[in-house]
A and B are shown apart, each in its own frame.
Chain A
Amino acid sequence: MSDLRQAAIVGVYMTEQGGLQDRTTGSLYAEAVKGALEDAGLKAHDIDGIIGAGPEGAGIVGDFTDAFGSPLRFHAQTGVGASSSSAGMGIAAMAIAHGYTDVVIVPTASGGAVHPNAPRRGGGPGGNPFEYIWGTTRASDYALAARRHMHDYGTTSEHLAEVAVAARKHATLNPASIMGERGEITIEDVVNSPVIADPLHRYDCCLVNNGGGAIVMTSLERARDLRKTPVVMLGWGQGFTFYDPMSAPTLTSFGGVMAADTAFGQAGVRREDIQVAGISDHFSIDVIIELEDAGFCAKGEGGPFVEGGALQIGGRLPTNTDGGYLSGSHGAACGLYTVTELVRQLRGEAADHQVPNVELAYAHGTGGAFQGQYSAIFARG
């Protein structure tokens, strides 16, 4: 039995998601941790390991201990941007399997002021001056990839729109989503929405909001005695192929190839056996590229793959069934929400957005503008 399968996800929780300017990061964090523990049937003092930061975001995670009174004997952090927490779950599983920790909390939270128009890499230390001087945005970063993908493979704005339409459809089925109450959108709605960074339209771009969530992991052995059906990772992998976009060999394929090949190789399952997927949709093009890189279709065939509602529940590969980052929530390290939804799908707890009889689920997280990638395959323990 592989290391990963000796650990299980036993608790998940998401706070309310939205503007939440009146809530502090710390209050969302505390609620998320307590919620995930309650879901699992564990207590704060059971926790002895953590992935990511404590509630104050201190560089040393003792602030978690200050808050919850739980000394920690394990901490790890990965560099996969918004998917850093969820990517770290693979490391948590290995640490649990090898006895370095018994109960790991994987939290994320973001509250207070949100400034969607704040200059990114605004010239401060650490920003790349060869990017920020040109007024680039996250949207323009992804737009460069989308434009090149269209040129090389004939991908269309309508293909991109399929991703956004599916996400919104799922959001309407998920009362916890931010955009669900606005109702469904059509391909025409997406391609007619204002251009943000050509070829990306407003509906091709994710939400900017606050929120929190947490996941609790422990050994599969201990999980058998807890409240909920345990969910295990069958495979996990990461991939990093560049940091400076001018150093990327191509803007149409990234570390997702390595991440998915590692995860699928370890899991010993086939792509076509996956019944539900959660794939980072910071921007619609992300999903198309990651479907290709993960091997669900050949490179360049992501556009045709998503046609005809293929990503919607009932379609070929239901994807982002909670509404994703486009229409569900994109607060804090939102990779955690992707995993939360897949856990609920495997438990059969997804209510109106449930995919029937899910046995195998696939998560793919992108950080930055394609720089960091991770993949994971989940099943019931």
Chain B
Amino acid sequence: MTQYNKPLPEITLLNEPFWEGTKAHELRLQLCDDCPEYRFTPKDVCSTCSSVNATWTPVSGDGTVYSYSVVHRGPGPAFQEDAPYIVVMVDLAEGPRILSHMTGCEPEDMKIGMPVTVVFEDVTPEITLYKFRPA
């Protein structure tokens, strides 16, 4: 594995279970214990019912493209090497919206509403990132 030279996520008490999930190649989100809402990004409280209780729960990893941008000018040299890259906002089947990268798709083939599914990339021994590809 070549050295991963981009910023890695800061692991916090709140988001650690999410990154444990990706390491197991599973997308896990907080499911509210008191109403049917999932949360993302990780939150201490449910924006629907204000519950502070949630259980980390595996989700399908399927969704549709809400929006995207083909980025030609990245923030700093590490991202610039990869430019153009596709930043995508995905509406997960379970509800939450998630920002990520598209992989396995040419910029000209990107469409809002297209079905996508999650893939995992082990970028360091500790961190696995999640991306999306056409479903």
Contacts and interface: CB of A to CB of B under 8 A. Distances in A.
B7 A246 contact: no
A296 interface: no
Given A133-B8, A135-B82, A198 B99 contact: no
**In the complex, which range does the number of interface residues on chain A fall in?**
35 or more
A347 to B, nearest CB: 40
A120 interface: yes
Interface in A237-278: 244-248, 251
A128 interface: yes
Contacts of B89: 144, 245-246, 251
B58 interface: no
B67 interface: yes
A179 to B, nearest CB: 19
Contacts of B72: 194-198
B99 A134 contact: yes
Given A135-B85, A246-B97, A117 B69 contact: no
Given A244-B41, A246-B41, A198 B70 contact: yes
B23 to A, nearest CB: 15
A132 B89 CA distance: 14
Contact of B67 (A118, A119, A130, A145): A145
A323 to B, nearest CB: 23
B11 to A, nearest CB: 8
Nearest to B113: A151
B96 A246 contact: yes
B112 A133 contact: no
Interface string A129-142: 11111111101100
Contacts of A122: 7, 75
**In the complex, which range does the number of interface residues on chain B fall in?**
35 or more
A139 B112 CA distance: 19
A370 to B, nearest CB: 13
B133 to A, nearest CB: 15
Interface in B62-109: 66-76, 78-79, 82, 84-85, 87, 89, 96-101, 107
Contacts of B79: 135
B15 interface: yes
B112 A129 contact: no
Nearest to B69: A143
| Interface-centre pick from B15, B84, B99, B100 (highest chain A CB count, 10 A) | B99
A240 to B, nearest CB: 14
Interface in A192-221: 194-200
Interface string A104-133: 000000000000011110110101111111
A227 interface: no
Given A119-B7, A145-B67, A131 B112 contact: no
Contact of B68 (A119, A137, A147, A244): A147
Given A128-B41, A147-B112, A197-B69, 4 more contacts: A123-B10, A134-B100, A246-B41, A246-B89
